[in-house]
Amino acid sequence: MSAPDVVLRPLEEGDRDRLLAWRNQPEVARWMYSDHQITPEEHARWFAAAVADPRRRYWVIEADGRPVGLANLYDLSPEHARTAWAYYLADPSTRGQGIGAFVEYWVIEHVFGELGLNKLWCEVLVDNEPVWRLHEGFGFQREALFRRHVRKDGAPADVVGLGLLASDWAATRAASRARLVSRGFELPA
């Protein structure tokens, strides 16, 4: 079985317009906290802040050489040995190929390996069951249910808070790696 060649590369200035288009796609905005049409001016402010903030890291997800999504760390807190993260696949044709699982594995390895942190956490709209189930499959534990936490389409929506500790990852890493390798992804040992 051949998996797509997936690379996470650092965000570049040349990605700015692409990200605005992605963030305004209904299938992406549906799962973000903000679901209004983002203006070019609002996006320019967000982009400038994103690349300048030392507590954030952004990567463009490429599959077979094509940009298909974005992954990021935010609230990076070395003093507390933790960070939050999020990602999305903007190209609907890439879904179901294991790209999200590869991104999840890569980010977890980066956080606990290269950054040496102790906790990775995230928030997911409760209606986005495939994503929070994916996180749980990598060892994330549900730590919170934020009731009526955000407004989506004018209505309150619940959010699931999930966390993964370095010790959790040590216990689930081999099985997670084996699943990706069985799908054809090449991963370092």
How many CB atoms neighbour CB 140 within 10 A?
26
Fold of 6-182: Aminopeptidase (3.40.630)
Span 164-175, pLDDT tens digits: 999 999 999 999
pTM of the full predicted structure? 0.95
Domain ranges of the chain: 6-182
d(CA 43, CA 5): 29
What is the model's pLDDT at position 2? 80
Q: What is the pLDDT of residue 1?
A: 54
Q: 6 phi and psi, to 5 degrees? A: -110, 135
- CA-CA distance, 104 to 35, in Å (whole number)? 24
Q: What is the pLDDT of residue 44?
A: 97
Structure tokens at 166: 């370095």
* pLDDT tens column, 45-55: 999 999 999 99
Contacts 24+ apart (CB under 8 A), 74-80: 76/115, 78/115, 78/117, 80/119
The confidence band for 95, taking pLDDT boundaries of 50, 70 and 90, is confident
